[in-house]
Amino acid sequence: MKSVLAWRVLPVLAVLALSAFALALIGRASSAAGAPARLPDLVQQMPRDLEITRAGTGPKAPYVLGFRSAVSNIGDGALVIEGHRGGPEVGTMIADQVVDRDGAPKAVIPDVGRLRYVVSPDHRHWHLLGFDRYELRRAGQRVAEVRDQKTGFCLGDRYVESGHALQSAAAPAPVFTSRCGLGEPQLLGISEGISIGYGDDYAANLEGQYLRLTGLAAGRYVLVHRVNAERRLHETDYGNDAASLLLELRWRDREPLVRVLRQCPGTDGCDRAPAAKRASRGGPSARSSRAPTATSTS
Ligand SMILES: [Zn+2]
């Protein structure tokens, strides 16, 4: 009996030991390359300022749910993105992440994303693609019913983060304040980012700041905002990259009504049984449903 048990357990132990060894090697390799890296920690803020509008005019213009999105950096270092391309004939820039290290030159993590020059009514500059993602999925389902159509992000220090403890001292003043090459499609390189203690936010119904409601059945949905969804940006913690709301969608006279049932910071699972502290009764955004208006958004 004893030996059977031993044989069942041993291979597992061996695998564990091997992976621990591999991890130790990786750790040593990175520290041998220089001092500890000062990585950012991106934290997805709660979707806010929900607002129902119609995208366009006319009786067939779809209803959309607009929202503010925001991502703060509470980490050990700034998020710094350096874009570059070989020449004007190359349509997109490759984005590298530049990481500060104590007592050592900066480290460059190549190819963490792409930048594209975007021309739209309220945007004419270089966007980092896919930095933040939005989706609506039915409660209890895994696959999204609606995904964002946003063309990207011009990262910057747009507000001072105040709701989270910082891992390091905040930058004394905003550093990333550029408009991401506004009106300069010919640029071959660009720098954008988010400093420690700052965040980057986008108001409801700006380009891509909404999801389509028309076509959705009445019922419960989870609105998920997720930064760094592909985890290509290096961070100290990926556990706070999503935030979600549990919503109830109803239709009255063919107009949508949305009510916030629950707020879930730090998770995409607002339809799962909430931990006691996550349940929110009332709260500022619980009254965020508004009567639909006929404002054009795009
Ligand atoms: Zn933009």
Instruction: Find the largest Cα–Cα distance for the chain.
Output: 77
| pLDDT of 121 | 80
Domain ranges for the chain, please list them.
1-33, 34-287
How far, in Å, from the CA of 120 to the mean position of ligand 1?
8
How far, in Å, from the CA of 293 to the mean position of ligand 1?
25
| pLDDT of 274 | 59
| pLDDT of 38 | 97
Question: H or E stretch including 158?
Answer: none
What does the alpha-carbon distance between residue 49 and residue 204 come to, in Å, rounded to a whole number? 7
How far, in Å, from the CA of 124 to the mean position of ligand 1?
7
How far, in Å, from the CA of 61 to the mean position of ligand 1?
24
| pLDDT of 87 | 96
How far, in Å, from the CA of 156 to the mean position of ligand 1?
11
How far, in Å, from the CA of 259 to the mean position of ligand 1?
29
Q: What residues have CB less than 8 Å from 65, skipping those under 6 apart?
A: 50, 51, 52, 136, 210, 211, 212, 213, 223, 256, 258
How far, in Å, from the CA of 181 to the mean position of ligand 1?
10
Tell me the average confidence (pLDDT) per consecutive run of 10 residues in the chain, 298 residues long: 37 40 36 74 98 92 97 98 97 97 95 95 90 98 96 96 93 95 96 98 93 98 98 97 98 97 97 60 37 34
How far, in Å, from the CA of 272 to the mean position of ligand 1?
34
DSSP letter, residue 38 = E
| pLDDT of 130 | 96
Record the tokens describing residue 246, joined without a space.
């549990």
How far, in Å, from the CA of 70 to the mean position of ligand 1?
14
How far, in Å, from the CA of 226 to the mean position of ligand 1?
18
How far, in Å, from the CA of 123 to the mean position of ligand 1?
5
Instruction: Return the exposure string of 224-252: e unless at least 16 CB atoms fall within 10 Å of the residue's CB, then b.
Output: bbbbbbeeebbbbeeebbbbbbbbebeee
How far, in Å, from the CA of 176 to the mean position of ligand 1?
14
How far, in Å, from the CA of 48 to the mean position of ligand 1?
19
| pLDDT of 275 | 56
Instruction: Name the E strands within 195-266.
Output: 198-202, 210-212, 219-227, 242-252, 255-264
| pLDDT of 8 | 39
How far, in Å, from the CA of 136 to the mean position of ligand 1?
23
How far, in Å, from the CA of 255 to the mean position of ligand 1?
30
- Cα distances (angstroms) measured from residue 3 to each of 7, 8, 9, 17, 280: 6, 9, 10, 20, 52
**pTM of the prediction?**
0.81
Question: What is the dihedral angle through the alpha carbons of 259, 244, 46, 145, rounded to the nearest 10 degrees?
Answer: -70
